[in-house]
Structure 1
Amino acid sequence: MRILGFLLLGFLLSGIPVKAQEIYTTRKQKKAKEKTIAFPDRWSLRTNTFDWLTTVPNLAVEFDVSDSVYNRWSLGVGLKFNYIPLNTDFTSRFTYKTADVRLEARRYFRAYQIFSNRSRTQKNSAWWRAYYVGPYLSYSKYAFQFLGPSFEGKALSLGVTGGYNIPLYETPKGRAIDLDLGLSVGALYVDHVKQDDKTCTRISRILPYPMLTDLRIGLVYRWRSVRKKYVVQNEEKILRRHTERLLKEKLRLEKKYQDSIRQDSVLRAKESLRIKKQKKK
């Protein structure tokens, strides 16, 4: 009976290291997964409700450039279209048609990541907002008229876009709908025909002032809410940059100290020469 008990105890003890190894492996895999984002979670679809109100259907696709949780950059392409040249008729005195293709690059950030004195727990910091800024390039064709002369032609714009995203709703499976508020401002080149009742003039020029080219009050569908994206900071990279700044500051102070010593030695040498000359006199 004792022999059977010892055998049973040995069998149970032999299973403990295996179970501990499994737990360790599971935790290690989970930690490794937290450093990357799944491929579907890197995609998002967005539409601008403001354009829909002006009878312009639109859709844009956005994709994160990296699967790292430290990534902040994304690339996007958008399309607006209600422009049918064959049906353009200015007899109604009110026409608004456009076809626009836009390329964007966005760099997301949080307020507490820029201002180190703020934290995620502060109510006024709005840490759940994901701000973004980046360049854009757009090409469009248009035909519009508002009770006056009509304009029909094309335009090319290059500038800066900016704004922020706010999480609105998240499903139990992790899908989410976010709110996108922002605008785009940039240089604008136009090439169009201006026509009124008496004259028809062709105009090609770069406008001498920046123009508001896009106003966004949009909805974004994401496979992963913006509340969970662009949050993790690379502590090693931050520490390395901080260390480099400290080393540069240390070298600057050492150089300043050596320069002060050198200046003091020069002043002492000049003072000793002056004293010797006075003694000789």
Structure 2
Amino acid sequence: MCKYYYDIYVWKTLLLVVFLMNFLSVFPQTSKRYAKQAEQDTIVDFKDRWSFRTNAVDWLLTVPNVAVEFDLSNSVYNKWTLGLEGKWNWQTAHNYLPYNVLNLWEVRAEARKYWRTEYRANVGKPTLKDRLFSKQRKRPRYWRAYYLGAYAHAGGYSFKFGNEGVQGDMYGVGVSGGYSIPLYSYRQNYIDIEFGGSVGLVATKNSKFKLDRENNAYVPSGNPKGLHIVPFPVVSDLRVSFIYRFASIKDKYKRVNYVKIQAREQRKMEKKRLKDSIRTAEIIADSLERVRKAFVKDSIRQARLVADSLEQMRKAFVKDSVKRVEIIADSLEQVRKNIRKEELPVELPETPLTKTDEEVSGTAKTEEEDGSPDNTSTEDPAIGTIKKEDDL
């Protein structure tokens, strides 16, 4: 019994392992298939990137023309194209030269960017800037594909609608704009119609001519002009064109790659953040420079104040020292004078010292006792008295 249950457990385990192996082997193939399908959904076929155009206005003016346009990328998110156009109507054959002349040839290269309008919520009356430059509209026309482009062209012309005509060469650059809408669809091909125009600057060199009917020839009638720029914008093209495409305009230039838009916005934000950081750093640097200059200025002012204070203290100290020295000198001079005054010798009186009656009588007696008369003494009484006082 135990062996039976053991065999069932082994078989279930083996079946589970086989199922997991099959699932893991199929899953990458499914993922690759879906990835390939997603990649194919974002790739435009090579033939769908081409379009061929002719302008009915030029045909109406008897100027044959043809243009070709090619998408610059095979991605469904691509909006850029590059076109080349040629016109030719030159020197048609006549037995008798016509009085009016309209000859033109031109080669034009043009780059375009397509876009479509989007819905705009009713948040107020749109401004002129919104009308001219914004993609948002209150009533967007989703079937239209608008475009703006830039072109460069070169060519030659010969016009005459009066007595004199003008012929020469031209070179120019300018801008073009317009829109395309679907017109007619076949099973695998489409016809679209385009309305637009071009305006730009033209540089030309030309000369005048007139018709010599007698000789049946055009002859020059004036001095030729060198290369110069026409002093006003020139409308170089008006288009009502029919376009042959393998993919209609209603299916082209409409998908938006939000991942790239988000990445572009992220780059813009990073660039703005970096710019703001640089600006903040510059502001901080300027503030620090101002603080440093103010600190240096204050330090210089403080140093000057300290130097002035020290100079004033020095002057006061020198003044006090001089005054003290003068006082001490005066005191020493007074002391010296006092000392000199005290060291002067004692002056003796001019009159001799007188004796008292008793001293005179005593002296007389002594002399009488000694037996020496008064007139025998040669000493001066005054000097003898002084000696006695010294003895005392």
> Shorter chain as normaliser: what TM range?
0.7 to 0.9
Change in 2 beyond 3 A, CA 1:133/1:95 = same
Q: Give yes or no for the alignment of 1:139 onto 2:162.
A: no
Percentage identity across paired residues of the two chains: 23
1:245 to 272, 280, 287: 272
| Correspondence 1:7-86 to 2 at 5 A | 16-69=23-76, 71-86=78-93
Please report how far the alpha carbon of residue 195 of structure 1 lies from its aligned counterpart in structure 2 after TM superposition: 0.8
Report if aligned partners of 1:155, 1:190 keep a CA contact under 8 Å in 2.
yes
Which letter does structure 1 place at the counterpart of 2:293?
Answer: V
Q: Give yes or no for the alignment of 1:189 onto 2:204.
A: yes
RMSD: 3.8
Tell me, which stretches of 5 or more residues in structure 1 are unaligned? none
Tell me, which stretches of 5 or more residues in structure 2 are unaligned? 1-7, 119-129, 214-218, 310-392
Q: Which has the larger radius of gyration?
A: 2
1:105 to 95, 99, 110: 110
Please report how far the alpha carbon of residue 254 of structure 1 lies from its aligned counterpart in structure 2 after TM superposition: 1.3
Report if aligned partners of 1:42, 1:63 keep a CA contact under 8 Å in 2.
yes
Q: By percentage of residues, which structure has more helix?
A: 2
Report if aligned partners of 1:77, 1:101 keep a CA contact under 8 Å in 2.
no
1:264 to 280, 291, 306: 291
Greater displacement, 38-47 / 124-133: 124-133
What's 2:253 paired with? 229
What's 2:230 paired with? 208
Change in 2 beyond 3 A, CA 1:174/1:51 = closer
TM-score (norm 2): 0.57
Report if aligned partners of 2:201, 2:230 keep a CA contact under 8 Å in 1.
no
Change in 2 beyond 3 A, CA 1:132/1:194 = same
What's 2:342 paired with? none
Matched residues, number: 272
1:129 to 129, 132, 145: 145
Change in 2 beyond 3 A, CA 1:219/1:239 = farther
Change in 2 beyond 3 A, CA 1:67/1:104 = same
Report if aligned partners of 2:53, 2:244 keep a CA contact under 8 Å in 1.
yes
1:239-269 Cα deviation digits (max 9, x unpaired): 3344233213312221221221221232133
In structure 2, distance between residues paired with 1:81 and 1:277: 88
Report if aligned partners of 1:178, 1:225 keep a CA contact under 8 Å in 2.
no
In structure 1, distance between residues paired with 2:171 and 2:135: 37
Higher relative contact order (CA 8 A, sep 6+): 1
